[in-house]
Structure 1
Amino acid sequence: MAVSTAQLQPRAVAALWVLLVLLLLGTRAADAQQQGTCGQQLTGLAPCARYSVPPAPGQALAVPGPECCSALGSVSRDCACGAIDIINSLPAKCGLPRVTCQ
């Protein structure tokens, strides 16, 4: 099933927000030199970055490798939910419309 560019844009924007938040939180954690923080957990998701961007039309989403799956398993529920809440709140704080994916 072909996916139009208009349908990919919200997904691509969401993926970019995820990567941006991961980088920002990881930088803060590194600066603070805090062990075991949510920022460090999210920084550990670097092996998953390539799996967070939608594939080109007609291509299947790549299956995450063991490094990504292990990193995902290391992120606590509270940390993951907090990151998602931040991502969902950013567009409004920037005066942008909320991103919807359906």
Structure 2
Amino acid sequence: MTTILAAMQNSILVLDSIKDGWKIHEHLKHHSPNSVALDPNNPGMAYCGTVDAGLWRTIDGGQRRDKTSLNVPKSYITSTSVSVIEKGEPGLSKLYVGTERV
């Protein structure tokens, strides 16, 4: 199965391939996502940075999302990136998050 994550203006779309086409789910409605980063070393893990609701993570290809503990007051997330080479916490790749003060 192929999964595609797409950051839209007011939500994240999760597109899953199925036998007859695609199944589409919409998540994080009204949270202005502006960046998505997939972890190349952990299938199913991805991060989403938003303008108004912080950083979110999925460990199952976008079916469930959890807000991370990253709290950046009076700022919003402008970019997210996951390193292919560098390791972060045990079993995880290193995550980089860009912010902008509002």
TM-score scaled to structure 1, two decimals? 0.22
Q: Which has the higher contact order (CA 8 A, sep 6+)?
A: 1
If you compute each CA radius of gyration, which structure gives the higher value, 1 or 2? 1
More strand, by proportion = 2
More helix, by proportion = 1
TM-score scaled to structure 2, two decimals? 0.22
